[in-house]
Amino acid sequence: MGNKKLILRMAVDLLMTVCLLGLMSFMLTGQQYHEWIGAGTLVLFILHHILNLPWIRKLGRGRYTPYRVVQVVLAALVLLAILGCMVSGIVMSQYVFAFLPIQGGMSLARLAHMVCVYWSFILMSLHLGLHWEMILGMIRKAAGIQVSSPLRTTALRLLAVAIAAWGVTAFVKHRLVDYLFLRTRFVFFDYEQPPLPFLAEYLAMIGLLVFFAHYASKLFHKRGGKP
């Protein structure tokens, strides 16, 4: 039962990551599909918290190591960012939530939505990185890998570094800092860029943030121990 629940949790998180990519691809989906993907993400987000209720119930117990502090703070920030996305998205909705009697507030909602969406992208990717060791363990188990290989480890680490480096260039290219800190009030899309390179660059940015959070978590474990 425990393994089935873990697999379900991982499946939900994977679907949320896919939805996250879809939400960042407004230029590819358009308004209507963007809203439906957002609504689906909300359902998955609620399911994610239901599946993680045992972890939530334990927040007031146990020792708070540096890793656990970061984990809890990051989870709280993700929650706030996602709620900001959902509230502002509902205010602006032209399709999925258009039946709601909401008047005004569009300008503020657009700014809040832009900031919250990009912070959600950053925070959810970091959150994924904190759990990357568990994901790797599941992949090794599914692949039947029982013995470590220095060659394989080195190759995978070099690949991770390459993806992270690509993520840095994509981060700059797509001007994420401008959107995160409201240095601009509009998102600029390159409508001439083909879909696959666009999605690959956003995957590289996720890889960069996963890389950073994964190795930062290793440092926290060494210094403060696991919770």
99-121: per-residue pLDDT in tens? 999 888 889 999 999 999 999 99
Residue 1 pLDDT: 46
Identify the helix (H) or strand (E) that includes residue 8: helix 2-24
Residue 36 pLDDT: 95
Higher pLDDT residue, 192 or 206?
206
- What residues contact 9, with CB distance under 8 A and at least 6 apart? 48, 51, 52
Per-residue pLDDT for 210 more than 90? Answer: yes
Residue 65 pLDDT: 86
